[in-house]
Amino acid sequence: MAAPGGFSGTDFKQEEAFFLGFTRAQFLAFIAMVAFIVISPFFLYPVFLMKLLCFALFACAFNLLIGYVGLLSFGHAAYFGMGGYLAGHAAKVWGFTPEVAILIGGAVGAVLGLAIGWIAIRRQGIYFAMITLAFAQMVYFFAVQAPFTGGEDGIQSIPRGKFLGIVDLSSDMAMYWMTAAIFLIGFLLVHRIVHSPFGMVLKSIRENEPRATSLGYRTDDYKLLAFVLSAGLAGVAGGLKSIVFGIATLTDVFWTMSGEVVLMSLVGGLGTIFGPVVGAAVIITMQNYLAEFGAWVTVIQGAIFVLCVLAFRRGVVGEIGNWLRVRL
Amino acid sequence: MTEINRRSLMTGAAATAAFGALPAWQARAQAANTVRIGVLNDQSGLYRDVNGPGSVACVRQAIQDSGVVARGVNVEVVVGDHQNRPDVGATLTRQWIDRDNVDVILDVPTSSVALAVNTIVRERNKIFLNSSAATSDLTGAQCSPNTIHWTYDTFMLAKSTGGALVRAGGDTWFFLTADYAFGHALERDTGNFVRAAGGRVVGAVRTPFPGTDFSGFLVQAQASRAKVIGLANAGGDTINSIKQAAEFGLTRRGTKLAALLMFISDVHSLGLETAQGLVCTETFYWDLNDRTRAFTRRVLPNMPGGSLRPGMGQAGCYSAVMHYLKTVAEMGVPAARASGVETVNRMKAAPTDDDAMGQGRIRPDGRRIQPSYLFEVKSPRESRGPWDYYKLLQTTPAEEAFRPIAEGGCAFLRT
Amino acid sequence: MEEIFGIPTPLLFGQLLLGLINGAFYALLSLGLAVIFGMLNVINFTHGAQFMMGAFVAWMLLNYLGIGYWGALILAPLIVGFTGVILERTMIARLYKLDHLYGLLLTFGVGLIIEGLFRNEFGSSGLPYRIPPELAGAWDLGFMFMPIYRGWVVVVAIVMCLATWLVIEKTKIGSYLRAATENPALVQAFGINVPRMMTLTYGAGVALAAFAGVLAAPIYSVNPQMGSNLIIIVFAVVVIGGMGSILGSVITGFGLGVVEGLTKVFYPEASSTVIFVVMAIVLLARPAGLFGRS
């Protein structure tokens, strides 16, 4: 069991893997999610859904660190934003196809994650959070200064291009399917990582790091690898977002974006595999549909934060899972 | 009437999102005689007072004043808060156009959001009437046949403030520049006009954005012994630098402060005691002439708090909607909705004239031109009543106020 | 004119002095944060909003009740501190047994709510607040004009910091507090009401933030986002000083103000980033901060 104050979801007795490493309940939830992804663009506005999927992937990447290694990064905007900038630059200036551009975004995130993570993982808890924040601020400074980012105007009119040079993505539906595919790959990747032997070691580090060390695991290496994977995926999400919207701007590197991804994971449920997805959906929907309420958006967002911390610490998915006595 | 329509439209949108109530997102039923205007600006953040609900009030006033409803044109207004985030602005714009049949995107402060909206509107062949973004790229490198840049831009601000002040004796300048593209553009353009008018730029310092304490930079400015300190920044940065310049006695000892982008709500926030003597450029002032006073009297009860005087961004929204609706009434709704480029071309063909912004015209590159006014902020003694803040120093005629088309390098004009 | 690294000496002195004044704000704000963290183990992200409330309450006292700067300097911290007490009683007290990241998330949310409410009520462009006539004017220091008000800020900040330090280190109440953080059960057993002590400590920390807010009102723009611009920097100060270390946060506050002031001369663009560079370096060399116990 996790410590009462820990950042993990409730752990139930280890269930048998049902399919693809999912438990039965997780598998059902996964099917429901895939069904929603396939059906929803016929009912809901695809651009909105694409945005949601980009942020869901970002939140999943973030959750890999906080939910399964217990590290709260307060600087994930750096990887998300720089991934977006480089992918945008690659697609617009270097003329790469979108999938290559997105991969470049991921690579940038990973490299940045390697450099920052190498330093940050030496510290724990609040110090870890602060050191990641410090580096993210430096990355922001770089983004403001570097000429290729276009300052606060950002990189504009990034072409969506053609997938593999063949499939034209300028229609929203085509772009949507590509976004959905990338999201699902990323989602399954996180799931696979978490349920691999590597993931088991990560969780043991979260629960009791000295013990993991005493068992002979080089915990720093594990943490660093998890950090790089998380940052790389965040970079992919950022790259995907700039291809979808055709823009890459400072908002995505600013520290409030780091706060937002914490909010998404918290609302959805930390350390649950579906939590970040649900959390991202809730927050993005709010941003879109509360736009009418003007200044109340900030108040409502704050209230949700407070409510989650006081009453629903497990998050939406965590609470549902707890209620059904299953792990989601 | 418009209020009810807006509500039902928004709740309709929310319901669609939540429950998938409508079978498809593409088409929404719309009466044949309806045009929809989407006001996209900052309703919750830094620029709420400069645009925000005030812009919406001005749009409503324009619908009323234009009298198109009596001529059978139904106008609906949707309002969105882009939270100064390009992705939020872009999503709302696409959604409004693709699903909610919005014809015009209006206002849109914050250059990054405006440029993103600019691209989308052009792709979808709708209309973008920008009142509140500063970047002159909208009619330059990124110009579009679907876009009209209505109220001001960095080039115009630089020319009016930079050129005119040198002629008034302020011939040595030091810049406090917010360290981002907008600040750099303002500094560069203003510097050029200062030099062209025979003045000298003796120094500049780039300040991190957003900043709180500017005293260190102000002391550097003072040490340069420049006669004018140009504030190439906006919003809270400008307010903080002016407040601290007064505190350090810069203005008392004869240094002139020139705020390159400032709105009347900023002066109100500073108070005349602090802001007196400050110089800035606007294209609208509520107390400029009888027409602007008449306009302000009409719209004031609906402005936030019933007391906020409209600033140029908000007045620009009024002016743009007046002109657009006039064009719609002439073309007929179906024709006006059919092609954004066509409607914009019709708008360019006719001169603009309304109470708020007076007479003007729209150039082929999408730049609306009108005279620009250099104001000085009154001292508390000179001010005769609430919001009596500006005295007019100089007027730059419309034809000279803005960047010549040839210098903008607008691409679609060449093809 | 003498020069150091190509910068005229007087200008350098001026920047050092101004840096010290900014440092006074950092010190006051981080002091409140350090007190709260040291005693309650809560990272108070609402601190920026409470700083802003201090300035706004001063404005309200003046415009609604006609109470001027000096009255506000006493009343505003009391009023805002009282709201802090309510906040602690109703919400924060429920989180003491949890990971302190939850406290951070809760107070972050509360900060958003407060900021949003003030923006709804007062708009975003800010309100005017004048320097009290007794402190208007400036001294001519030879190399620069020094507003009297800024001098006042430094003096008051130093006095407040000293007083807080004395209360915690040298008085009986302070020793109870320090004991309660080490072992609340034992202190409770001695018949001391620990929960009430925690509440009052939080209120006091918040009052310090509001006090800084009143000090800031005449020189910074009084707007709803004035605190959130500052809070991240102040956090860095607390972390560099060592979480919970009173002395550390005060010295670091002043020190970083000076570092920032110097950066404004040599590389002005980076003057808001330099604090984070310092923070990264310090955390690598001394994990618990300059004055923290690990």
pLDDT tens digits, B98-144: 888 999 999 999 888 999 999 999 999 999 999 999 999 999 989 99
Distance CA(C175)–CA(C162), nearest Å, equals 16
Q: How far apart are CA C188 and CA C194, in angstroms?
A: 6
pLDDT digits (tens, 9 = 90+) for C16-62: 888 998 899 999 999 999 889 888 888 898 999 999 999 999 999 99
> Which residues have C-beta within 8 Å of that of residue C90, sequence separation ≥ 6?
none
Chain A residues touching chain B at CB-CB below 8 Å: 40, 42-48, 51, 144-145, 150-154, 156-157, 172, 241, 245-247, 249-252, 285, 287-289, 291-298
Q: ipTM, 2 decimals?
A: 0.83
Distance (Å) from the C-alpha of residue C164 to the closest C-alpha of chain A? 25
8 Å CB contact of B86 and A46: no
Closest partner residue to B248 (CB to CB) among C22, C138, C272 is C138
Contacts of A178 (CB under 8 A, 6+ apart): A98, A99, A163, A167, A169
The number of residues making up chain B comes to 415
Q: Give B284's contacts (C-beta < 8 A, 6+ positions apart).
A: B151, B292, B310, B311, B312, B315, B316, B356, B357
Residues listed for chain C: 294
- Which residues are paired to B374 by β-bridges? B281, B394
Let me know the angle formed at the C-alpha of C249 by C246 and C251, rounded to the nearest 5 degrees. Answer: 105
Range list of H helices, B212-332: 215-223, 235-247, 264-270, 272-275, 290-299, 312-331
Answer whether C11 sits within 8 Å of B215, measured CB to CB.
no
Q: B125 CB near a chain A CB, below 8 Å?
A: no
Q: What is the structure's pLDDT at C5?
A: 65
CA–CA min distance C229, chain B (Å):
7
Cβ–Cβ < 8 Å for B97, B28: no
Looking at residue B410, what is its pLDDT? Answer: 92
User: CA A259, C57, C55: angle at the middle one, nearest 5?
Assistant: 60
Give one DSSP letter per residue of B205-231, joined into a string: EEE-SS-S--HHHHHHHHHTT-SEEEE
Residue among C8, C144, C272 whose CB faces B211 most closely:
C272
CB contact under 8 A, B223 and C11: yes
Write the DSSP symbol of residue C62.
I
Query: Does B23 sit within 8 Å of A287, measured CB to CB?
Result: no
Residue pairs spanning A and C at CB distance below 8 A: 120
- In what helix (H) or strand (E) does residue B232 lie, and over which residues does it extend? strand B228-232
Report CB contact under 8 Å: A295, C243: no
**Is B99 in Cβ contact with A45 (below 8 Å)?**
yes
Residue B392 main-chain phi, psi, to 5 deg: -80, 125
Instruction: Give the closest-approach CA distance of A26 to chain B in angstroms.
Output: 24
Position C2 scores a pLDDT of 61
Judge whether B124 and A77 are in contact, CB under 8 Å.
Answer: no
Rounded average pLDDT over B63-88: 90
Minimum CA–CA partner of B215 in chain C = C18
Question: Strands, DSSP E only, in chain A?
Answer: 162-163, 167-168
Which residue has better confidence, B289 or B82?
B289
- Facing A138 at nearest CB: one of C100, C239, C273: C273
In the structure, how many helices (H) and strands (E) does chain C have?
A: 11, 4
Angle at C119 between CA C117 and CA C120, to 5 degrees: 65
- Closest-CA distance, C162 to chain A, in angstroms, reads 27
Q: Do A302 and C99 touch (CB under 8 A)?
A: no
Please check the confidence at residue B167 and state whether its pLDDT lies above 70. Answer: yes
Q: What percent of chain B has pLDDT over 70?
A: 92
B81: left (phi over 0), alpha (psi -120 to 50) or beta: beta
pLDDT at B248: 87
pLDDT tens, residue by residue, B215-268? 889 988 988 889 999 999 988 889 889 999 988 888 878 889 999 999 999 999
Residue reference for tokens 């945008």 = A88
Query: What's the whole-number mean pLDDT along residues A80-108?
Result: 94
Contact B91 A246 (CB under 8 A): no
Phi then psi for residue C176, to 5 deg, are -60, -45
The predicted model scores a pTM of 0.85
Element of type H or E holding C281: helix C274-285
pLDDT band at B10 (very low <50, low <70, confident <90, very high): very low
B256-259, strands of its sheet edge to edge: B200-207, B172-178, B228-232, B256-259, B279-282, B372-377, B390-396
Q: Considering only CA atoms, which of C104, C114, C47 is closest in space to residue C81?
A: C47
Q: Are B258 and B279 in contact (CB under 8 A)?
A: yes
pLDDT reading at A313 higher than 70? yes
Comparing CA positions, the residue from A90, A112, A85 lying closest to residue A101 is A90
Q: Which residue has the tokens 């009173």?
A: C246
pLDDT surpasses 90 at A34: yes
Residue pair C261/C19 in contact (Cβ under 8 Å)? The answer is yes
Q: Are C107 and C43 in contact (CB under 8 A)?
A: yes
Angle between helices A219-245 and A197-207 (to 10 degrees): 110
